[in-house]
């Protein structure tokens, strides 16, 4: 359907051509002499309207009532001009073939269902307009992410999922355990889904082959090693956080994009983040027109204008200290009172992006070192670090980044201050011993980007199979 209807003239250059459409029935209208069937194959937002008269081969399947919404079908026919106002072309059916019937219990009928309900049907929700559109926009954002970095000379590297280090030092890691064959006295089977046979028991005394290991919270430290050899690099992969928070912006498993720029400082980092975000937003607007128009009508009114502004206009930049000043002057009572040194809460971020700068992305820089991670480069004032967060309306923090501490002495001092185990960072410290360079990078939470670019209010709808407390069913 994308091949036929995806072009600028919505299929008119296909007039007279014979095609085969394979997809799922969205709607069915049976009249005495002609049957209209809208078929969607997910390749684009558009359905193909298939018009079948009683002499089409396979028409008996219509008569016997076999076709229903949700059924999979294979339709042969000719592209002709359409009389309908919704489309320029339609398929005049010569041969119809039912591939898979659809039971009447199909839960995603034409009537509108809530996104909360659809979360319980994660295996079927991609068949809806909303989740089809979100999946294609997500795909465009992923593709344009690689495109942006590749066009700018970055090398993509894979960072490990299993690791012994805690990049953010916040202790929000999932622990890896080993499922070992055989029985041991006292072993238990904690998951009902694991067969209760003698062959598969979890031995909690085992972790990663005898050593502690966790699911990674960030690929940054690994990316830094490659940036110290290949210059500009980026990672794009799954990361995990064991935060037991049920919010609309947090997942236990999310994808992160982490560029790392060698011979660069915080200004280069902010410039890269800005150019990258503008590039992917522009790409989605230009390449997902139909999907974006649907989202603009049904999910967030005005999203196209909002994103166009993001793609074109400069972002606001201010220091943490100025942000605190601004919040102190605000004629608003915050639940969490503001004072220099405090972490900014989502109500503060909201005020800054939505009220103070009326919807523009805002980059806040130079945070107090106490509220930021050990690896951030200390500024000359001794109080702040060269960190930046990029905030956008509704979603809040979309990007977190910093210039890294490249000076061995300073880094060791900071590890000591924070009582972190220096030995376990030996390889990270080596980078500062052998040809250290100023470098900087950031992490963008991909699902928050999808949320931002689609207008979805809940991050659980921005990833096909969300993982959050209590949900790992599908």
Q: Which residues bind ligand 4AD (CB under 6 A)?
A: 167-168, 218, 220, 241, 243, 250-251, 254, 256, 258, 397-402, 441-445, 447-448
Q: Measured between alpha carbons, how far is 67 from 234 in angstroms, rounded to an integer?
A: 48
Instruction: State the nearest-atom distance from the C-beta of 27 to ligand 4AD, in Å.
Output: 36
Q: In a 10 Å sphere around its CB, with 0-12 CB exposed, 13-18 middle and 19+ buried, how is residue 219 labelled?
A: buried
Instruction: State the nearest-atom distance from the C-beta of 252 to ligand 4AD, in Å.
Output: 7
Residue 168, binding choice from Mg ion, ligand 4AD, none, Cβ under 5 to 8 Å by partner class? ligand 4AD
Instruction: State the nearest-atom distance from the C-beta of 402 to ligand 4AD, in Å.
Output: 6
Instruction: State the nearest-atom distance from the C-beta of 109 to ligand 4AD, in Å.
Output: 32
Residue of 365, 359, 363 whose CA lies nearest to 393: 359
Q: Measured between alpha carbons, how far is 41 from 24 in angstroms, rounded to an integer?
A: 6
Beta carbon nearer to Mg ion, 179 or 418: 418
Instruction: State the nearest-atom distance from the C-beta of 276 to Mg ion, in Å.
Output: 17
Three-class secondary structure of residue 219 per DSSP = coil
- For residues 396 to 435, the per-residue mask of contacts with Mg ion, x marking binding by CB under 5 A and - elsewhere, is ----x-----------------------------------
Residue 256, binding choice from ligand 4AD, Mg ion, none, Cβ under 5 to 8 Å by partner class? ligand 4AD
Residue 58 within binding range of Mg ion, rule CB under 5 A:
no
Beta carbon nearer to ligand 4AD, 47 or 264: 264
Beta carbon nearer to ligand 4AD, 71 or 462: 462
Q: List, as own/partner pairs, every contact residues 206-209 make where C-beta atoms lie below 8 angstroms and the sequence separation is at least 24, other chains included.
A: 206/177, 206/178, 206/180, 207/175, 207/176, 207/177, 207/178, 208/162, 208/164, 208/176, 208/178, 209/178
Q: How long is the chain?
A: 474
Instruction: State the nearest-atom distance from the C-beta of 14 to ligand 4AD, in Å.
Output: 42
Three-class secondary structure of residue 316 per DSSP = strand
Strands 89-100 and 72-81: antiparallel
- Tokens found for residue 58: 């396979």
Residue 236, binding choice from Mg ion, ligand 4AD, none, Cβ under 5 to 8 Å by partner class? none
Q: Which stretch binds Mg ion (CB under 5 A): 82-90, 108-116, 195-203, 392-400?
A: 392-400
Three-class secondary structure of residue 279 per DSSP = helix
């Amino acid at each position: 359907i994308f091949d036929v209807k995806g072009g600028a003239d919505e299929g008119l250059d296909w007039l007279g051509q014979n095609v085969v459409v394979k997809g799922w029935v969205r709607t069915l209208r049976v009249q005495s002499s002609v049957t209209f069937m809208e078929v969607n194959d997910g390749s684009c937002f558009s359905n193909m309207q298939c018009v079948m008269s009683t002499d089409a081969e396979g028409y008996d399947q219509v008569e016997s009532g076999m076709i229903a919404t949700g059924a999979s079908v294979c339709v042969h026919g000719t592209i002709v001009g359409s009389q309908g106002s919704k489309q320029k072309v339609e398929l005049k059916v010569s041969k119809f073939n039912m591939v898979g019937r659809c039971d009447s219990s199909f839960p995603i009928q034409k009537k509108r269902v809530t996104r909360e309900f659809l979360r319980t049907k994660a295996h079927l929700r991609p068949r809806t307009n909303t989740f089809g559109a979100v999946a294609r926009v997500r795909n465009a954002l992923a593709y344009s992410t690689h495109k942006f970095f590749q066009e700018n000379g970055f090398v993509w590297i894979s960072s490990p999922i299993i690791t012994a280090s805690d990049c953010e030092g916040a202790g929000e890691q999932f622990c890896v355990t080993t499922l070992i064959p055989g029985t041991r006295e006292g072993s238990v089977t904690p998951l009902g889904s694991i067969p209760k046979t003698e062959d598969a028991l979890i031995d909690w005394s085992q972790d990663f082959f005898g050593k502690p290991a966790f699911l990674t919270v960030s690929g940054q430290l690994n990316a830094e090693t490659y940036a110290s050899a290949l210059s500009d690099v980026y990672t794009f992969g799954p990361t995990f956080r064991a935060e037991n928070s049920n919010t609309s912006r947090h997942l236990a498993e999310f994808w992160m994009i982490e560029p790392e720029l060698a011979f660069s400082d915080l200004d280069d980092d902010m410039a890269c983040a800005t150019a990258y975000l503008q590039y992917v937003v522009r790409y989605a607007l230009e390449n997902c027109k139909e999907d974006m128009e649907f989202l603009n009508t049904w999910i967030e009114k005005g999203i196209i204008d909002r994103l166009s502004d993001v793609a074109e206009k400069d972002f606001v930049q201010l220091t943490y200290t100025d942000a605190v000043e601004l919040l102190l002057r605000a004629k608003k009572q915050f639940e969490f009172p503001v004072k220099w040194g405090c972490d900014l809460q989502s109500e503060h971020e909201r005020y800054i992006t939505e009220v103070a700068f009326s919807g523009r992305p805002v980059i806040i820089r130079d945070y107090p070192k106490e509220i930021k991670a050990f690896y951030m480069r200390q500024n000359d004032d001794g109080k702040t670090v060269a960190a930046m967060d990029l905030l956008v309306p509704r979603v809040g923090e979309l990007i977190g980044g910093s210039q890294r501490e490249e000076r061995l002495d300073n880094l060791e001092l900071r590890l000591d201050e924070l009582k972190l185990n220096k030995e376990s960072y030996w390889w990270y410290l080596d980078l500062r011993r052998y040809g250290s360079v100023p470098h900087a990078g950031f992490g963008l939470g991909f699902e928050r980007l999808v949320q931002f670019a689609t207008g979805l209010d809940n991050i659980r709808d921005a990833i096909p199979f969300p993982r959050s407390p209590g949900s790992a069913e599908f």
